Amino acid sequence: MFSITEEAEIYVADLFEQQDEKDLGLKVDVEKAGTPGCNGNI
């Protein structure tokens, strides 16, 4: 599980609202989770 800031949540919600798609999803890739070298991509 991970957390995002309220600002990030608002930003993503705004992006979704701008799309003309009913069913959208968000894909998150995480490499080396739980380590100092963790990397995340949206």
Q: Where are the domains of the chain?
A: 6-41
Q: Using alpha carbons, list the distances in angstroms from residue 42 to 12, 31, 39.
A: 10, 12, 10
For the segment 9-15, the average pLDDT, to the nearest whole number, is 91
What pLDDT is recorded for position 35?
93
Residue from 42, 16, 15, 8 nearest 28 by CA: 42
DSSP designation for 32: S
Q: What is the pLDDT of residues 18-39, one digit of tens each?
A: 998 888 888 889 899 889 999 9
User: Does residue 7 carry a pLDDT above 80?
Assistant: yes
Sign of CA dihedral 17, 12, 41, 23: negative
Q: What is the pTM of this model?
A: 0.58
Q: Using alpha carbons, list the distances in angstroms from residue 21 to 2, 24, 41.
A: 26, 6, 22
What pLDDT is recorded for position 18?
92
